[in-house]
Amino acid sequence: MALTQETILQTLKSIQDPDLHKDIVTLGFIKDVKIEGGAVGLTIELTTPACPVKDQMKSEAEALVGALPGVTSVAVNMTAQVRARGGMTSQAIPGIRNIVAIGAGKGGVGKSTTTVNLAIALARKGARVGVIDADVYGPNLPQMLGIDIEPGHIELTADQKMIPPEAHGIKALSIGMLVPKDQAVIWRGPMLHSAVQQFMRDVAWGELDYLLVDLPPGTGDVAISLAQSVGVAGAVVVTTPQGVSVSDVRKAIGMFQKLNIPILGVVENMSYFACPHCNERTEIFGRGGGAEIAKDLKVALLGDVPIDTRVRSGGDEGAPVVVAAPESPAALAFSAIASKVAAKVSMQAMRTLRIVESD
Ligand SMILES: Nc1ncnc2c1ncn2[C@@H]1O[C@H](COP(=O)(O)OP(=O)(O)OP(=O)(O)O)[C@@H](O)[C@H]1O
Ligand SMILES: [Mg+2]
């Protein structure tokens, strides 16, 4: 049997994408198949560089193609092209493919911590990432990222767009950089709306695969503004097990659903104590709060993040735990959650493009 592009595609059809539930040939992931004598080269283009099974897919493809008669060598090149959600309105911002909102039912559960760690984890997997802090009442992203810019001192491009400062491989803008602290507290709905618009339109973001938005707790003003003006690929809801109130989380999820924002899943933060010396796990608040909520509310549990003093100190010192202690259980949890978020966003995009139907 002669070695042709057709035989190669046929054999690659047995590789399934675990999230999209289709084979990688049907999904259109195979590009640039080259055959020169017995040497085969091809590219697999995934929908996110943060794909958790990237390496596995590569070795499966190498093994399958390598086993075809006549093949002497295989070179599989892995790339990614993050797709935008097809359902976004025409007002969506050019260059920004997916906006992901990070919300919570109540304050202090680790929303900002989750936002910065997920963002950096995605960037470390090869994605282009930005974060904004839409929390006018207590902006803290700049501090968590070690960015120190006085309000009103952001650099501008020639056409007067704000240049977002960069830290740890991500671009970050905070409302704290736009307005003096003492003025922020009087902001109300319409002003929030215009601030969100400014973040989206008057900022030189460049090309971004993911823009993560740290939503303010409480009212849905910012979420409403985002949903109406730019479209949101999905929302991540952060909760803690301590005094877990299903009703708080349900409220947050209900708001996103009303706005037609897909729920990507729930993160249970401060889930258990991971000893920084021996990594032993202590379930201080009992276990399974996040899992129960996820089951009750029929949403995915994206992962559990332990309580670790390195998470707090990292945030205080401007070096989030995925940078400061990348091998710690908390950092590994954030990294795994980042991959899941990326996979869920891909699924949403493929669904709106009608390439896949549903879970
Ligand atoms: N897994 C964790 N382990 C230890 N400390 C944590 C963890 N997650 C968050 N913290 C700490 O808890 C505090 C609250 O976290 P964070 O500021 O991220 O919450 P938030 O939900 O954004 O709060 P707010 O509602 O005030 O915006 C911070 O001091 C942070 O460093
Ligand atoms: Mg916060």
Where do the domains of the chain lie? Answer: 5-80, 96-350
Q: What is the DSSP letter of 303?
A: E
The pLDDT confidence band at residue 52, using thresholds 50, 70 and 90, is: confident
Q: Residue 118 above 90 pLDDT? A: yes
CA of 238, closest atom in ligand 1? 21
Instruction: Give me the DSSP letters along 181-225.
Output: HHHHTT--HHHHHHHHHHHHHSB---SEEEEEEEPPSSS-HHHHH
Whether the domain at 5-80 and the domain at 96-350 fall into the same CATH topology:
no
Q: How far is the CA of 186 from the centre of ligand 1 (A)?
A: 24
Distance CA 30, CA 46 (A): 9
Give the pLDDT band of residue 89 (cuts 50, 70, 90): very low
The bridge status of strand 16-17 relative to strand 22-23 is antiparallel
Provide CATH code, domain 96-350.
3.40.50.300
Pocket of ligand 1 (CB under 6 A): 104, 107-113, 135, 138, 140, 217, 269-270, 305, 307-308, 311-312, 315, 330
| CB contact set of 143 (below 8 Å; sequence gap of 6+) | 315, 316, 318
Residue 53 pLDDT greater than 80, yes or no: yes
Q: Which one-letter DSSP state was computed for residue 48?
A: -
Tell me the one-letter amino acid at 126. Answer: G
Query: 290 or 265: whose pLDDT is higher?
Result: 265
The whole-number average pLDDT for the span 352-357 is 62
The CA distance from 111 to 278, in Å, is: 27
Is a pLDDT exceeding 60 seen at residue 359? no
- What does the pLDDT average to over 69-93? 79
Residue 165: per-residue pLDDT: 93
User: Closest residue (by CA) to atom 11 of ligand 1?
Assistant: 312
What pLDDT was estimated at residue 243?
61
350: nearest Cα among 82, 93, 103, 106: 82
What does the CA dihedral 265, 270, 271, 277 come to, rounded to 10 degrees? Answer: 130
Q: Which atom of ligand 1 is nearest to the CA of 305?
A: 1
Give residue 123's pLDDT. 98
Neighbours of ion ligand 2 (CB under 5 A): 111-112
195 has a pLDDT exceeding 70:
yes
Tell me the average pLDDT of the chain: 85
CA 114 to centroid of ligand 1, rounded, Å: 8
- Tell the burial category of 347 from Cβ atoms under 10 Å away from its Cβ (0-12, 13-18, 19+): buried
- Whether CATH 2.60.120.560 fits 5-80: no
Pairing of strands 281-282, 263-274: antiparallel
Distance 269 CA to ligand 1 centre (A): 9
Expressed in angstroms and rounded, the spacing between residue 114 Cα and the centre of ligand 2 is 9
Q: What are the residues facing 297 on neighbouring strands?
A: none
Higher pLDDT, 358 or 276: 276
pLDDT beyond 60 at 184: no
pTM over 0.85: yes
DSSP 8-state secondary structure symbol assigned to residue 278: T
> Residue 311 has which token pair?
């998470």
- Higher-confidence residue of 279 and 255: namely 255
pLDDT(245) > 70: no
- The CA distance from 344 to 159, in Å, is 36
In this structure, which ligand is nearest to the CA of 329?
Answer: 1
The residue nearest atom 16 of ligand 1, judged by CA position, is 110
pLDDT at 54 over 80: yes
